Amino acid sequence: MLLEEITSSDEELISMARDIIKRNYDHKKFNHTVGCALRCKSGKVYLGINVYSLYGACAETVAISNAIMNGESEFDCIVAIGGDRSDIVYSPCGNCRQMLSDYSPNCNVIISTENGPKKIRAKNLIPFAYLTPMD
């Protein structure tokens, strides 16, 4: 597999995602259960939480949208954290994998493995991914 070790700056990203969901976790209706931190190539970090309803936006979608609204288009690394203790590194869902593959195929994605958190490129999350005309 094409996994890489995480760095101290990746640990900081994990901590930022953990902090945003700890502050926003919804224990009553479970509308907000995942936090995300996205580091752009510029070094700026954008945060997001999931917004759940019948179908809501994933935390990754919110963070990417936040970055784009602020003029960012090159993404370096992303991580999603959840769980009622804000201690689970989540791998992106299928929709988020496709979105990351479309927007930033070389973005590092921190995922959970048997050996702890590791990084993998977004383009390697989906074998035989749908390719947009820009690819």
Active site annotation includes 12: no
Nearest to 71 by CA among 42, 103, 37: 42
Alpha-carbon distance values, 112 to 58, 107, 117 (Å): 18, 16, 5
Nearest to 82 by CA among 37, 39, 120: 37
Cβ proximity of 46 and 72 under 8 Å: yes
Out of 5, 11, 60, 72, which one is annotated catalytic? 60
Residues marked active site are found at 60
